[in-house]
Amino acid sequence: MEIVVLLKQVPATESMIAVAGDGVSIKSDGLKYVINPYDELAVEEALVIREAQGGTVTIVSVGPAKAAEAIRTGLAMGADKGVLIDPGDLALDGLNTAKLLAAALKAMPHDLIVAGHRAVDDDNFQVATAVAELLGIPNISMVVKQTIAGGKIRCVCTVEGGTREVEAPLPALIAAQRGLNNPRYASLPGIMKAKKKPLETKKVADLGLNAADLQPKVRIKALKTPAERKGGRVIAGDSVQAKAAALAKALHEEAKVI
Amino acid sequence: MTQNILVVAEQAQSAFRKVTFEALSAGRQLAGALGGAVEAVVMGSGVEASAAQLAAYGAAKIYVADDGALADAATEAYTRVLAQVIEAAKPAVVLLGATTQGKDLAARLSARLDAALAGDCVAVKAEGGQVTATRPMYGGKILAEVTLSGSPVIVSIRPNTQTASQAAGAGAVEKVAVQVGDVATKVVAQQLDAGKVDLTEADVIVTGGRGMGCPDYSAVEALAAALGGAVGASRSAVDEGWRPASDQVGQTGKTVSPNLYVACGVSGAIQHLAGMSSSKVIVAINKDPEAPIMAKADYAIVGDLFEVLPVLTAEIKKIKG
Ligand SMILES: Cc1cc2nc3c(=O)[nH]c(=O)nc-3n(C[C@H](O)[C@H](O)[C@H](O)COP(=O)(O)OP(=O)(O)OC[C@H]3O[C@@H](n4cnc5c(N)ncnc54)[C@H](O)[C@@H]3O)c2cc1C
Ligand SMILES: Nc1ncnc2c1ncn2[C@@H]1O[C@H](COP(=O)(O)O)[C@@H](O)[C@H]1O
């Protein structure tokens, strides 16, 4: 089974994010970068599937040279090889990221593509599903469980108010949701081994695409930090009863939410 | 191309989702700014009868794709039908609700039509023919204003961020001859908790964090029931196995914007705040006056949640009568 994981390097979720001087990007100095948490689930699931079925796990990422660190971490977890697609100074929107990934995937064998359902920096909810459409293969999103048998993958997915079971023939793309698994840590021997695993870098031209065809249709005009909440009104009272009554009254009469 | 807005309606258990009406209302304003009309499309099996409801929110025309082949909400089939409708209707903007289905559909559609997509937006407007949307990034720590170019452009709207308001539209129904063809993806089973309000659509959310101390959420559930709301959880509570992952609020859980968010025994870690800080009113109940959530809450009670919640529930019941 040839398994490909789509992995993005993102700022750690505990990061404070500030807008840079240009007003359209974020200050990246001092930020700690990690594997997108959902893509970590994707790596884990790919490894579990390889352990059961045999095969190869290849990590593909679009990002700057620095993103190689995230791929190495995935290799240290146990993936076999990595491909970094460096877009150079192209400004990418979600769809163009998907086009780069799809072009790379067309040139490599893939029975199953495992992605995250969302990257916690851009929050596009787009790239994985768009890759499937560009490749003309089925996609199953928000996957919390999967089983493969007879050339088909069957997944349990979360939907509003419940779950749904969806089945598709391979090759297919699935996108991980929390609950799918608990990703393993990279072990020390894993980290040592990862250093020797193949990690290839490709440029846009290597994928048979050219920059002129990759003009973003979605452009950032301005980034802002949402208004700080002015909280901190502590409800005073002599007893729990008094506090609760004062809160209920405030919610009813002042905030008018009940 | 027209200057029209096409709203993709979504049903859940035979009723339109609230976000469909919210999108129609946002669509009306956009149509006003662009000089076009709002139209809607309904896809599914046995949906024709309900289509007329969309006229009450301003739909001038309603495309109805009613076919047994669309009984299961498989994105692949919907994408094909939607692409077909878009080709005929030539809208300038396609609006969807940023639901599980809406997000998946929007993404496939963007790739199929090579169209701009701004996902999970909290605002959308048009000025001088240019569509601009506001979308949270970094789990809501940043708001991005983005411009979309090309035609059509696709925008998905985060539930609970637009006001649904009625305005009669002509509501002319046009049936679509559905050509789905073979669909590889099949929905084989579905378990839905009937009547359960999803967190993303709830007007009120009561969340229990690690301060709950155990899987017994009855105190939180009772308050949520009194308020007509849904129950949420912090990641710690999910990790403890007290609540399902689908209840998790935060940067790696659901992003919610209810009218009222009550955080009980939640410290207010940055990842949790990312998911709920756009709530209109935040209440925190915590033993620790220094917990970060207290500084974000409009109203806070310092105290033991197990003592506060039952009394608060009783007080709220009194008010609600
Ligand atoms: C990659 C990543 C992603 C994450 N994503 C999310 C996410 O999406 N959502 C999320 O919530 N977290 C997320 N987290 C975890 C986050 O960092 C915090 O660990 C978590 O939110 C803490 O949950 P908590 O507030 O319930 O628990 P704690 O931080 O342990 O806080 C418990 C609070 O309860 C109070 N308390 C205890 N007992 C009582 C009582 N009897 N009465 C009243 N108050 C009481 C305490 O004073 C304390 O403030 C993520 C972390 C990482 C690393
Ligand atoms: N730059 C990228 N490189 C590789 N995979 C990506 C990239 N961006 C997004 N993805 C994949 O697409 C998923 C959804 O991302 P997004 O659409 O940006 O929310 C992620 O979880 C990844 O699996």
Counting runs of H as helices and runs of E as strands, what totals does chain B give? 8, 18
Q: How far is CA B80 from CA B38, B51, B74, in A?
A: 21, 20, 11
Q: Which residues of A touch B161 (CB under 8 A)?
A: none
Q: Hey, which residues 54-83 in chain A have their CB within 8 Å of chain B?
A: none
Size of interface A-B (CB pairs under 8 A): 278
Using the Cβ of A124 and the Cβ atoms of chain B, whether some distance falls under 8 Å is answered with yes
- Measured in Å, residue B269 CA sits from the centre of ligand 1 at 6
Predicted confidence at residue A229, as pLDDT, reads: 86
Is the pLDDT confidence value at A19 over 90?
yes
Question: What are the start-end ranges of the H helices in chain B?
Answer: 18-34, 75-89, 100-113, 218-227, 235-239, 270-276, 292-296, 305-320
**Rounded mean pLDDT of A16-21?**
96
Q: Which residues of B touch A247 (CB under 8 A)?
A: 283, 299, 301, 312, 315
Do A162 and B196 lie within an 8 Å CB cutoff?
yes
Residues across chain B: 321
Using the Cβ of B177 and the Cβ atoms of chain A, whether some distance falls under 8 Å is answered with no
The domains of chain A, with CATH numbers, are 2-214 (3.40.50.620), 231-258 (no CATH)
Map tokens 């240290």 to a residue.
A76
Would you state the structure tokens that stand for residue B98, as one six-digit string? 């940023």
- Nearest CA distance, B210 vs chain A (angstrom): 18
Predicted confidence at residue A67, as pLDDT, reads: 98
Q: In CATH, what number does B199-320 get? A: 3.40.50.1220
Beta bridge partners of A57: A3
Q: Is B140 in the pocket of ligand 1 (CB under 6 A)?
A: no
Do B294 and A37 lie within an 8 Å CB cutoff?
no
* Residue nearest atom 27 of ligand 1, based on CA coordinates: B210
Q: Which residues of B touch A163 (CB under 8 A)?
A: 190-191
- Measured in Å, residue B168 CA sits from the centre of ligand 2 at 41
- Nearest CA distance, B219 vs chain A (angstrom): 14
Do A166 and B74 lie within an 8 Å CB cutoff?
yes
Q: Dump the DSSP string for A206-245.
A: GGT--GGGG--SEEEEEEEPPPPP----BPP-SSHHHHHH
pTM of the model: 0.96
Nearest-CB residue to B303 (from A93, A98, A243): A243
Predicted confidence at residue B196, as pLDDT, reads: 78
- Measured in Å, residue B192 CA sits from the centre of ligand 2 at 29
Among candidate residues B34, B205, B228, B201, the one with its CA nearest the CA of residue B102: B201
Question: What are the start-end ranges of the H helices in A60-219?
Answer: 68-77, 94-106, 127-135, 188-194
Using the Cβ of A26 and the Cβ atoms of chain B, whether some distance falls under 8 Å is answered with yes
Tens digits of pLDDT across chain B (321 residues)? 899 999 999 998 889 999 999 999 999 999 999 999 999 999 999 999 999 899 999 999 999 999 998 988 789 999 999 999 999 999 999 999 999 999 999 999 999 999 999 999 999 999 999 999 999 999 999 999 999 999 999 999 999 999 999 999 999 999 999 888 889 999 999 998 877 788 999 999 999 999 999 999 999 999 999 999 999 999 999 999 999 988 999 999 999 999 999 999 999 999 999 999 999 999 999 999 999 999 999 999 999 999 999 999 999 999 998
Q: Which of B272, B279, B296 to mutate to test the pocket of ligand 1 (most atoms within 8 A of CB)?
A: B272
**Rounded mean pLDDT of A76-101?**
97
Q: Are B210 and B237 in contact (CB under 8 A)?
A: yes
CA distance B89 to A175: 31
Is the pLDDT confidence value at A232 over 80?
no
Do B116 and A218 lie within an 8 Å CB cutoff?
yes
Do A220 and B318 lie within an 8 Å CB cutoff?
no
- Measured in Å, residue A99 CA sits from the centre of ligand 2 at 12
Q: Are A72 and A7 in contact (CB under 8 A)?
A: no
Predicted confidence at residue A2, as pLDDT, reads: 98
Among candidate residues B178, B46, B253, the one with its CA nearest the CA of residue A118: B253
Topology of domain B5-175, per CATH? Rossmann fold (3.40.50)
Q: Hey, which residues 13-42 in chain B have their CB within 8 Å of chain A?
A: none
Q: Are A99 and A126 in contact (CB under 8 A)?
A: no
Q: Choose the mutation target among B79, B138, B248, B259 for the interface with A, i.e. most A CBs under 10 Å.
A: B138
Residue A231's pLDDT band, with cuts at 50, 70 and 90, is: confident
- Nearest CA distance, B185 vs chain A (angstrom): 5
Chain B residue at shortest CA distance from A132? B108
Q: Choose the mutation target among A10, A123, A219, A221 for the interface with B, i.e. most B CBs under 10 Å.
A: A123
Using the Cβ of B168 and the Cβ atoms of chain A, whether some distance falls under 8 Å is answered with no
Q: Which residues of B touch A224 (CB under 8 A)?
A: 142-145
pLDDT tens, A137-189?
Answer: 999 999 999 999 999 999 999 999 899 999 999 999 999 999 999 999 999 99
Instruction: Give domain limits for chain B.
Output: 5-175, 199-320
Chain A residue at shortest CA distance from B305? A240
CA distance A79 to A66: 18
